[in-house]
Amino acid sequence: MCVATPMRVVSITGQLAEVDAAGMVATVGLDLVDDVTVGDYVIVHAGYAIQRLSAPEAEETLAILKRLGAPWGDRGEDG
């Protein structure tokens, strides 16, 4: 099973974004999503942002993943 993860965009260079979820940082492609800006939340799957989502939606999803025992769930927003 694959799980797409909400992550916050911390920087953008061209079509690549550095994203963060509780200290887990990754570089992902923005080829599939329009109008992404620093601070936005995106759903990340297989190295690509596949959808933008609101901060409340992202925070709710991250809280659910934390309750389910996701590996990044115990670090909190500040790491």
Q: Could you tell me if residue 79 is inside a domain? A: no
Residue 77 lies in a domain: no
The answer to whether residue 78 is domain-embedded is no
Note whether 8 and 43 are within 8 A (CB).
Answer: no
Counting the structural domains of the chain, the total is 1
Residue 79 confidence class, pLDDT cut points 50, 70, 90: very low
In a domain, residue 76? The reply is no
The model's confidence at residue 13, banded by pLDDT at 50, 70 and 90, is very high
Residue numbers of the domain that contains 43: 5-67
| Each residue's pLDDT tens digit, 27-64 | 999 999 999 999 999 999 999 999 999 999 998 988 88
Is 18 inside any structural domain? Answer: yes
- The answer as to whether 73 is a domain residue is no
Q: Which residues contact 38 (CB under 8 A, 6 or more apart)?
A: 9, 10, 11, 12
Assigned domain for 72 exists: no
Average pLDDT of the residues of the chain: 86
Indicate whether 50 belongs to any domain.
Answer: yes
CA 50, 48, 66, 60: dihedral to nearest 10 degrees? -30
Question: Which CATH number goes with the domain that contains 18?
Answer: 2.30.30.140
